[in-house]
Structure formats: structure tokens, C-alpha cells
Amino acid sequence: MNEIKFKQKIDNLKFNDRGLIPCVAQDYESRQVLMLAWGSKDTLFQSFSSGLATYWSRSRGEVWIKGKTSGNIQEIKKMHIDCDRDTVLFEVKQIGPACHTGSKSCFFTELF
């Protein structure tokens, strides 16, 4: 897909009032859910262009390329949207742990 078609597709997504959309990262091979982060039109386009998962850090108020400082990058294999067009799924090859705690996934605490 070329950049123009990709931009047209992301223009049709439903972003919240802050211009953000939830992005779920899933391991491409194991299908394990790794983490949830937030994206914007710009970070989705950067992810598409670079092939690396790029998010919007709400706490820092800046673009965040996953693994840029830690080396724990996410190479994007596929991107999907859900049926409501309000959530993005990144299928990724995770290099190192996804979670800042050092865990493979951020979802390691059982609630129920």
C-alpha cells in the first residue's frame, strides 16, 4: 500500500477528542497481547513509514518510538482496525520485553 492510500484509511478512523486512538500490540507469532498504547494520525503514519511501532505518550506529551532508548523495539508486521474503526491492532515482532517492568507482556497480573 502506498502512503496516499494509507493516509486516506487513517483519515476514516475514529479518534477521541484529544486526537488519539487506542493501539493494541500483539505478538505476531504467539498472538499474545503485549501492551496497549495510544496513537495519533501522525504516529500511525510514522509507524507505517518506518515499520516500527510509534505511539503518543500521554504522560510525556510527545511521540514515543517503542524501544528507541531501551532497544525493545516492535517491528510491525501488520496493522488492523476493529469493526468500529476506533481501535488499531499492531501485529509485531517484539524484540526484548514489551513491558517497562521487564515482563514480556504488560498483561501479567490476573484480575479474575
Distance CA 64, CA 85 (A): 22
3-45 pLDDT per residue, tens: 889 999 999 999 999 999 999 999 999 999 999 999 999 999 9
Range of the domain at 76: 3-94
pLDDT tens digit string along 43-98? Answer: 999 999 999 999 999 999 999 999 999 999 999 999 999 999 999 999 999 999 99
**DSSP state, residue 52:** B
Query: Which helix (H) or strand (E) covers residue 11, if one does?
Result: helix 3-11
Would you say residue 28 lies in a domain?
yes
Cα distance between residue 10 and residue 29, in whole Å: 25
The total number of structural domains that make up the chain = 1
pLDDT of residue 3: 86
Residue among 40, 34, 47, 38 at smallest CA distance from 3: 47
pTM beyond cutoff 0.75: yes
In a 3-state reduction of DSSP, which class is residue 53? coil
pLDDT category of residue 2 using cuts at 50, 70 and 90: confident
CATH number at residue 49: 3.10.20.810
